[in-house]
Amino acid sequence: MSHFGRITLGLGLAFLYGPILVLVAFSFNASALVTVWGGFSTRWYGVLFADGALLAAALVSLRVALAAAALATLFGTLAALALDRGGRFPGRSAFAGLLYVPMVMPEVITGLALLLLFVGTGLERGLVTLVVAHATLGLGFIAVIVGARLKGLDHTLEEAAADLGAGPLRVFATVTLPLIAPAVAAGFLLAFTLSLDDLVIASFAAGPGATTLPMRLYSQVRLGVNPEINAASTLLVGGVTLIVLGASWLSACGGIRSDVGTG
């Protein structure tokens, strides 16, 4: 790599991750003042794990993320299958296009629309509405990831299974699903992190009883930033990073295994 390349890469990475590194560094600050370095300490992590309200919010976030990701994975995978295998059903291209909308729609608008829907249908806002809202957010991503995998799948593998006496259900369960599993899992993890990170939609869709971790952090920040927030954020960033790495690893090893058909 040239000097120029190295420098631009360094600048780009610094621009992206500099703020996060500052946050991580200050989470180990012994001082209670956010902007003054008072030596290394893990005391704020101790404070964090003694904060019942924050832990409760984290638990809500995890439960919502799990449920929303599961729901989004189920429907996103079904949508991808319909698009790839459904032939040319009426409204196919409209359906394909509409799947992308939640991905590009400003979150405020999605949140507001969901709020109006929940109020209009008389659905009481709480965990359930939060799960539904986050499933909506993740569904499109999963449909795209699984769809790409399906498109790359060698169709003769399924034909071979059918030829060997397997009915459509057995073909799906024993050939299609195992081969798209890495993409499904990657999609699940992505939907999980999307739900875990979301603040805007959650603010609209969650009721008084369901406060997620980002909501809790945001409300605390408004009262003033303290190092405990830094510690919580560091853990959140760490967890999400691990999940994203896991997702991309799953996609990558899936990509290698898809080419094993011929000599």
Partner 1 sequence: MGGTGSTPRLDLTGVTKRFGDSVAVADVSLALAAGEFFCLLGPSGCGKSTLLRLVAGFEAPNLGVIRVDGQDMAGLPPHRRPVNIMFQSYALFPHKDVAGNIAYGLPDLGRADRTGRVRDLLARVRLENFENRRIETLSGGQRQRVALARALAREPGVLLLDEPLGALDRGLREETQGELRALQRRLGITFVMVTHDPGEAMALADRIGVMDRGRLVQVGDAATLYERPATRFVASLLGDVNLIPGRVAGRDGDWAVVQTGFGPLRARAPGTMPGEGEAATLAIRPERVGLGAGTGPAGTVTEVTFLGERIRRRIRMEDGTLLRASMPAVAQAPDPHGVGAAIRLDLDPEACRLLPA
Shortest gap between Cβ of 179 and partner 1 (angstroms)?
Answer: 6
Shortest gap between Cβ of 82 and partner 1 (angstroms)?
Answer: 20
Beta carbon nearer to partner 1, 1 or 169: 169
Residues 240-259 interacting with partner 1 (rule: CB under 8 A): 257-258
Alpha carbon distance 58, 54 (integer Å): 6
Binding of partner 1 at residue 263 (CB under 8 A)? yes
Shortest gap between Cβ of 142 and partner 1 (angstroms)?
Answer: 21
Beta carbon nearer to partner 1, 39 or 261: 261
Site string for partner 1, 37-56 (x = CB under 8 A): --------------------
Closest by CA to 196, choosing from 58, 77, 74, is 58
Shortest gap between Cβ of 88 and partner 1 (angstroms)?
Answer: 13
- Alpha carbon 217 to its chain's center: 19
Q: Which amino acid is at 24?
A: V
Beta carbon nearer to partner 1, 90 or 165: 165
Strand partners, 29: 40
- Alpha carbon 131 to its chain's center: 13
Site string for partner 1, 144-183 (x = CB under 8 A): ----------x-xx-xxxxxxxxx--x---xx--xx----
Beta carbon nearer to partner 1, 88 or 222: 88
Shortest gap between Cβ of 83 and partner 1 (angstroms)?
Answer: 21
The residue count for binding partner 1 (CB under 8 A) is 23
Shortest gap between Cβ of 180 and partner 1 (angstroms)?
Answer: 11
Beta carbon nearer to partner 1, 6 or 257: 257
Tell me, letter by letter, the H, E, C secondary structure of the chain. Answer: CCHHHHHHHHHHHHHHHHHHHHHHHHHCECCCCCCCCCCECCHHHHHHHHCHHHHHHHHHHHHHHHHHHHHHHHHHHHHHHHHHHCCCCCCHHHHHHHHHHHHHCCHHHHHHHHHHHHHHHCCCCCHHHHHHHHHHHHHHHHHHHHHHHHHHCCHHHHHHHHHCCCCHHHHHHHHHHHHHHHHHHHHHHHHHHHHHHCCHHHHHHCCCCCCCHHHHHHHHHHCCCCHHHHHHHHHHHHHHHHHHHHHHHHHHHHHHHCCCCCC
Shortest gap between Cβ of 166 and partner 1 (angstroms)?
Answer: 6
Beta carbon nearer to partner 1, 25 or 253: 253
Beta carbon nearer to partner 1, 178 or 246: 178
Q: Which residues bind partner 1 (CB under 8 A)?
A: 154, 156-157, 159-167, 170, 174-175, 178-179, 257-258, 260-263
